[in-house]
Amino acid sequence: MSRAALSEQEAADRTESVLVRARGLKVEYPVRGGGRKHRGRTVSAVAGVDLEIGEGETVGLVGESGCGKTTLGRALIGRVPLTGGTIEFDGKDITNASRKQWRELNRDIQFVFQDPYASLNPRRTVGQTIAEPLQTHGIASGKELQARVTELLDMVRLPQSAAARYPYAFSGGQRQRIVIARALALQPRFIVADEPVSALDVSIQAQVIGLLEDLQRDLGLSSLFIAHNLAAVRHIADRVAVMYLGRVVELATSASLYSAPRHPYTQALLSAAPIPDPSVQRPGRIILAGDPPSPVDPPAGCRFHTRCPLAVDRCRTEVPPLATIAEGHQVACWVAHAQATIPVPAVPPKTVHGVPA
């Protein structure tokens, strides 16, 4: 079987089991304040993103502050109005779901945010907090409810006695596990976790990452794990998407992305990440100059070209599509396309992987 045929077969397999499918997603905000310079302008926070998340799959979403990763995550849970594009969940178009419809959708789609201190109501016991979604959706009451709360606490490795206590009695790591228990209460199929461990100490982060990994394996959960820490994502994600200024610039299996990053931005990110081992030699380390440009006035063509060490003329005018350059590896870079091991189609195919021009 030829390589192209194989990847088509693979694509077909994935299409069957895709749970979340975003196409051409765009989110723009009007600029608030900012003075004369920016008045009446818009921030292009997400500028045409295609992303699929399969059943039981964990996709990592990484990038630096302002790249649009949090906005993308919030768009997938209906918290941000879209400027363009569509979102499908389990084959149904949920792009224009109403608030009421989202209430139902939240049985399947849940989220965990960064700050476990802000996401728990200090006046409610842990038991009340975890029971709330079950009561609101009329799923359980009385003894059954208590049993379910105990079961959820057990799932996140907290004792039954935790139910009667208030959030202040718990550490950051424990609070984040309480937040996870609440997110799991309705047995969702998809979870968006936005920087779920960044507020925690390193020795505690591994507890929460390990818990999320176990839950995904045991419950067959799909998830989008958003983080700025590439090392944490390597551990948890099946595939990883790298965002820069509103666009996905590289999307690949974890193994492929970390061992052979193809986009110059991904290469720079990996090269900049400190490694806790002084014996590792890092020749040819890339240190990017300057800061990312403003998303109010993003550069034309490839948005990374202003900082890219490899930029050629074409990069300054034409937007490179996210195209497959090797099995399970897509990149939006003209230079990487030219070096691809399989031919990159001149026109992006009308598959779920292509980026509309």
180-219 positions binding other proteins, by CB under 8 A: 201-207, 209-210
260 touching other proteins, by CB under 8 A: no
Residue 125 identity (one-letter amino acid): T
Stretch of residues binding other proteins (CB under 8 A), selected from 88-96, 143-151, 284-292, 331-339: 284-292
Residue 258 is a binding residue for other proteins (CB under 8 A):
yes
Residue whose CB is less far from other proteins, 81 or 276: 276
- Exposure b/e, 26-51, CB count within 10 A at least 16 = b: bbbbebeeeeeebeeeebbbbbbbbb
Amino acid identity for residue 283 in this structure: P
The 288-317 contact track toward other proteins, x by CB under 8 A, reads: xxxx--------------------------
The amino acid at residue 257 is L
Assess 42 for contact with other proteins (CB under 8 A): no
Binding residues among 63-102 for other proteins as defined by CB under 8 A: 64-65
CA 315 to chain centre: 26
By CB under 8 A, tell whether 126 contacts other proteins.
Answer: no
Q: Where are the beta strands (DSSP E) in the chain?
A: 18-30, 42-54, 58-62, 84-89, 92-93, 109-112, 190-194, 222-227, 239-244, 247-253, 323-326, 329-331
| Window 222 to 241, contacts with other proteins (CB under 8 A) | 228-232, 234-235
Q: How many helices (H) and strands (E) does the chain have?
A: 11, 12
Picking from 192, 189, 191, 193, the residue whose alpha carbon sits closest to that of residue 176 is 193
# binding residues, other proteins (CB under 8 A):
43
Between residues 134 and 243, which has the closer beta carbon with respect to other proteins? 243
Q: Binder to other proteins among 147, 164, 169, 272 (CB under 8 A)?
A: 272
Contact flag: residue 273 with other proteins (CB under 8 A): yes
Work out the end-to-end distance of the chain between its first and last CA atoms, rounded to an integer number of angstroms.
31
Q: Distance (Å, rounded) from C-alpha 28 to C-alpha 47?
A: 8
Instruction: Specify the residue, 125 or 271, whose C-beta has the smaller distance to other proteins.
Output: 271
Binding site residues, other proteins, CB under 8 A:
64-65, 171, 173-174, 201-207, 209-210, 228-232, 234-235, 254-255, 258, 268-280, 285, 287-291
